[in-house]
A and B are shown apart, each in its own frame.
Chain A
Amino acid sequence: MASNKTKRPMLKYLSDSHIEQIHEGSLDILENTGIKVELEEGLEALDKAGAKVDHQTGRAKIPSELVARSLETLPRKFAYAARNPQKDCLMEPGGQLYSRTAGSPDFIIDIDTDEWRAVTVADVLEIYTVMDACDGISILTAAFAQEWPKLGRDILMLREMFDHTDKHIHLRTDTVETFPHMLEMAAIVAGGKEPLRERPIVSLLEGHVSPLRYIDVMVNALLLCGEYGIPLEVCCMPMAGSTGPVTMAGNLQLLNAEFLSGVVISQSAHPGAPLVYAPRPMLMDLRTGFSLAGSIDGEMAAVAGVQMAHFYNVPVSVHGQWSDSVLDDGQSILEHAYTALMGAFSGANILVGAGSLQETLSISLAQLVMDDEINKICFRALEGFAVDKERLGVDAIARVGPGGNFLADPHTVQFVRGERFTPELFYRGSVEGWVEGGRKTFRERAKDKARTILKEHKPNRLPEDIAKALDEYVSYAFESLEK
């Protein structure tokens, strides 16, 4: 029987032949221009797999045949597992949409004063608490306090994250030295290295430096994530006009070649390592030199990037809520609404960015709860609606007849629940009701909700024995970093 569900909307810019052209161009770039790899282990893996490697210059040229072989071993389906298995997120091309917050803001908009200031430890705990409480946020991404030591702040961040959420945790790491410690911490919480591989409760995003330069942190991430079986979002972030060609197509061309080179390094060292395509096409504002995040052009390119991911049949994360605004205001709300909806309609697996401002430099608790609402709107938009004999209601229309109304018709009563999405932060009543309620703007209502969450929400803490084991490990890790 035919499904009664409407179709999933799919936004597409590239034709099949465009996709083919971009793929061919990427193979040309990798084979003839090649990439620069700044970690010897990466060069060795490439060498062994059949790339033409110059160990002196770090340059590696990758034959098409090796690209094809690497694409074949990519896993199509895996989980972003969660400490609470009910919150697992299953990644497969064209599958369900999830959302995660953006990586590592340094500044926060103070919820009481609107001051733009450095993120403190207290802020970090509040940020995680709000993220954990919001149902529209599936995955939490790292946030750092500027008070924390530069070396090892990612370790402290992870310790707090584990204690503030039972959702999947998406990491950021700063150094080659600290990342192995973070993976050991994840293994402690997961119950060992094997359980962690089976149910990776953490994932990472890491990027090369455009154009085509694989610095040590990125190569290390590709190798270590493969070793531990941790999903890695391969962040491809050329900036049109500066680190990438100025044209929309050219920036996408470079971006795609860079993704494929990440695939080759990863799969050469650890065939079957789970990767997520993360197209993050940026633009430089060529009047000021600033990078642009919330531009419509960037989101169009990101949607095209998702099409490339679908071509390679690999899970994909797309920036959803991205803005250049310095405040959680009309600009950020508008930018987040259109980037999120376009990202959702692209058919990506993960919509990234809730709470972020100035690309991902800043965060706001009010913006977080607004974006929670935007995420839910996106989920609803993808859900569609049912079309069947009962819902079409020809009988009800006959019962009511011309000029009547459906208010108390049995058909209305039958379907009054479940056909609609009800937003939490939108005011939809009378002016009088709004005045009586204190004339609160959307932004003020968002702040109220964030404050209520902070007062009432209790994250699912780690069991005591695991918390103790983690603390001991953190002390050990810091001792070994100091050596």
Chain B
Amino acid sequence: MSNILEKMQEDLYNGRAEEVEAAAQKALDKGTPVQEILNEGLIAGMDVVGRDFRAGDLFIPEVLIAAKAMHAGLEVLRPLLAESGVPAQAKVVVGTVAGDLHDIGKNLVAMMLQGAGFEIVDLGTDVSPEKFVETVRAEGAELLGMSALLTTTMPSMKSTVEALTEAGLRDEVKVIIGGAPVTASFAEQIGADAYAADAAAAVDTARSLVA
């Protein structure tokens, strides 16, 4: 691996977006293949971040700034990646369900998913089943993530899954749910595809659902 990519990994790990961006440009200028920069610079860098996060050595904010740095590098590569036929990122629609205004957990999951390479469409809070269905259709999303903090708003998750079925979209999109009172058995009960207990699990689960 070139010194540039090695240094890029280190800068990415430390969340230095400008340095990662500059390194991506420099590597391209030197004629490094775009796929190599992506795999051995950016993705390999994020793998180290993910490993240390799971080991408890990195905190969420540190993962998030590393992800930001990764995106800064990715922006430089994007036009060339499109040319070389690398598939686009999977799209995830996220939102806190109708009647519920708690969004910090949902925001965290969205940021972590974005860091992991997903494209996020965030509908915010108090999102109705209709709004979810409409957006999934319009965006061609592969994943729908719903969040609730109140037991009183959890039934809206069920309504949304039913609305997806009625709209004929249920087979097009995987549904993942979470939030403090939400459980795996509730997910199964309402016909969601998966439940994630925390932000890290949400990323892992999302990855496995689109794989």
A175 CA to B171 CA, complexed, in Å: 83
Q: Are A407 and B59 in contact (CB under 8 A)?
A: no
Q: Are B64 and A432 in contact (CB under 8 A)?
A: no
Q: Are A432 and B107 in contact (CB under 8 A)?
A: no
Using known A-B contacts A413-B61, A417-B59, determine if residue A405 contacts B197 with beta carbons closer than 8 Å: no
A-side contacts of B198, CB under 8 Å: 429-430, 433
A408 CA to B71 CA, complexed, in Å: 14
A416 CA to B68 CA, complexed, in Å: 17
Interface class of chain B by DSSP: helix
Q: Are B197 and A407 in contact (CB under 8 A)?
A: no
B48 on interface, CB distance cutoff 8 Å: no
Closest to B180 in A: A430
CB distance from B42 to the nearest CB of A (A): 18
Q: Are B197 and A416 in contact (CB under 8 A)?
A: no
Interface positions of A from 422 to 454, Cβ below 8 Å from B: 429-433
B-side contacts of A433, CB under 8 Å: 197-198
Scoring A408, A412, A429, A430 by chain B CB atoms within 10 A of each residue's CB, the highest score goes to: A408
CB distance from B7 to the nearest CB of A (A): 20
Closest to A422 in B: B56
Q: Are B184 and A407 in contact (CB under 8 A)?
A: no
B-side contacts of A417, CB under 8 Å: 59
A429 CA to B56 CA, complexed, in Å: 13
Number of A positions contacting B (CB below 8 A) = 14
Q: Are A432 and B15 in contact (CB under 8 A)?
A: no
Task: Type the 1/0 row for A395-426, where 1 means its CB is closer than 8 Å to any CB of B.
Answer: 00000000001011110110011000000000
Number of B positions contacting A (CB below 8 A) = 16
Interface class of chain A by DSSP: loop
Identify which of B15, B64, B183 contacts A407 (C-beta below 8 A): B64
Interface positions of B from 154 to 203, Cβ below 8 Å from A: 183-184, 197-198
Q: Are A429 and B197 in contact (CB under 8 A)?
A: yes
A-side contacts of B59, CB under 8 Å: 416-417
Identify which of A408, A429, A430, A431 contacts B64 (C-beta below 8 A): A408
A-side contacts of B92, CB under 8 Å: none
A-side contacts of B184, CB under 8 Å: 432
A-side contacts of B197, CB under 8 Å: 429-433
Identify which of B62, B65, B107 contacts A405 (C-beta below 8 A): B107
Interface positions of B from 56 to 104, Cβ below 8 Å from A: 59-62, 64-65, 68, 104
Closest to B108 in A: A407
Q: Are A408 and B107 in contact (CB under 8 A)?
A: no
A429 CA to B15 CA, complexed, in Å: 27
CB distance from B95 to the nearest CB of A (A): 15
B-side contacts of A410, CB under 8 Å: 65
A431 CA to B186 CA, complexed, in Å: 14
B111 on interface, CB distance cutoff 8 Å: yes
Using known A-B contacts A430-B198, A432-B184, determine if residue A416 contacts B61 with beta carbons closer than 8 Å: yes
Q: Are A413 and B111 in contact (CB under 8 A)?
A: no
A-side contacts of B108, CB under 8 Å: 407
Residues of B participating in the A interface, judged by any CB pair closer than 8 Å: 15, 59-62, 64-65, 68, 104, 107-108, 111, 183-184, 197-198
Residues of A participating in the B interface, judged by any CB pair closer than 8 Å: 405, 407-410, 412-413, 416-417, 429-433
5 shortest A-B CB distances, which residue pairs?
A: A430-B197, A408-B64, A412-B61, A432-B197, A416-B59
21 contacts between A and B (CB under 8 A): A405-B107, A407-B60, A407-B61, A407-B64, A407-B108, A407-B111, A408-B68, A409-B61, A410-B65, A413-B15, A413-B61, A413-B62, A413-B65, A416-B59, A416-B62, A417-B59, A429-B198, A430-B198, A431-B197, A432-B184, A433-B197
